[in-house]
Structure 1
């Protein structure tokens, strides 16, 4: 008898690819290749992300909100897949043999329409929840003690028992949050761009794909985190190149999984 079509297989099996962890490096290389095809639009895209990020950081300091800088940087990774939607458009156009242009990357027309922006609203809400949780964790350990500023927070965290306790609790809470955010956002936005579906189906599918392909997704998440930290170390300037490459790479990761 002929094997039943793919749609009749158990859902968990349809979302397992058994890709080796090293496949994540291939996604990064594919992202670099797409970046180098008409690199101008990707560079402008990355420069825009850099300037907006720099403006947000400056605003936080100007308003005396530097205590949420680190949660805000972590939250950036949550909404990153949404911001990268124009890069998915470029990668799709390259694969389809169609012309690449900056206007095309800006005025994207996802197949799921407004469902993309609904997902974006959910991701932004998730980012705000994390930022609020980080403030509450600080208050839990240091009470009403004012934030000492970025130049003194390191000694407070690493030279006091309270600081170590906060680091432990914050790391566990942040790790759980990061894992959940990564799972729901990594493939949901590319899927909504590429397919006609709803936000919750896309997020559920993203969770399933990540959960059933843990080795390669841990490798990809580690690459994303390492390159993002490298960008932070350069005063966010690295985002001009890193963000487009990761955006294109995420598209290839999605296509490999789907």
Structure 2
């Protein structure tokens, strides 16, 4: 006998919800970027950097001397051509370009690990494994530095108007003895801190990564920021050490850079080694934006 039902019969022994799979939470995934190092590991990096500095010290000290001479020359040229209003932003912007300038120091620390001796020539003429991507990294950091310089000029104009810079002998008392000066210090310091924090996070590991691994510049920037974010406590401690030693160098008329810059460069290499998984350092790095050919 034919049935007048047009729909297929329901399966026996099942309710209406039995055909829908249950929603289960995803399996936990290991966060390989989080190394869970205590904050005082930053002091270990500083000690290891000190050890690298005094292992075959002449190339490192000459490297630091070169950084001091170039920095002092740039500051002198600013005063010579009446661009002294750029001095404070330029000193703050030094934190942006610092990791890029320290490439040769990373090479020496890497060679110390394998028992090789490094000459000053080998530190000055570096061949990163990532090739042209390292040059692109330099362009990115330089553009960020120029953006900060422009922002500093705009902040000055917002508080003091569009007028000639009065000179260091007048501006320093104005900054510390007037309400407008204090407001400029607070706003300018806050904006500068944001620039410095961003530049530090994207470059502190990106530059040694491009030296050691084969990847692209944008991926290195993103991975560096992720490494900093996932190891925030120890990286805040390392950033505080970098800032404190740089301020000491400024207080000594930049002479301190002769020792401080190589010390921080070597220490940064050890920070990269501790936070970056070893298999990623030796093999092909992951690429966030470009796929390997």
- In the alignment, does 2:229 pair up with 1:203? no
- In the alignment, does 2:240 pair up with 1:222? yes
> Which residue does 1:256 correspond to in 2?
274
Ranges in structure 2 where 5+ consecutive residues have no aligned partner: 1-26, 277-293
Question: How big is the shift at 1:146?
Answer: 2.4
The correspondence of residues 1-258 of structure 1 with structure 2, limited to 5 A, is 10=29, 13-258=31-276
2-structure distance, mates of 1:58, 1:171? 24
Say which one has the larger Rg.
Answer: 2
Question: How big is the shift at 1:10?
Answer: 4.7
Answer 1 or 2: which has greater helix percent: 1
**C-alpha distance after superposition, 1:34-89 (max 9, x if no partner):** 01110000011111111111110111111100001011011111111110000000
Tell me: CA distance 1:71–1:26, structure 2 relative to 1, closer, same or farther (3 Å).
same
What RMSD in Å do the two structures reach over aligned CA positions? 1.4
Tell me: CA distance 1:9–1:57, structure 2 relative to 1, closer, same or farther (3 Å).
farther
Q: Runs of 4+ in structure 1 displaced over 3 angstroms?
A: 8-11
TM-score, length-normalised on structure 1?
Answer: 0.94
**C-alpha distance after superposition, 1:214-249 (max 9, x if no partner):** 111111011101111111111111111110010000
Which structure has more RCO (C-alpha within 8 Å, separation ≥ 6)?
A: 1
Q: Secondary structure at the match of 1:14?
A: coil
Tell me: CA distance 1:67–1:17, structure 2 relative to 1, closer, same or farther (3 Å).
same
TM-score, length-normalised on structure 2?
Answer: 0.83
2-structure distance, mates of 1:77, 1:175? 10
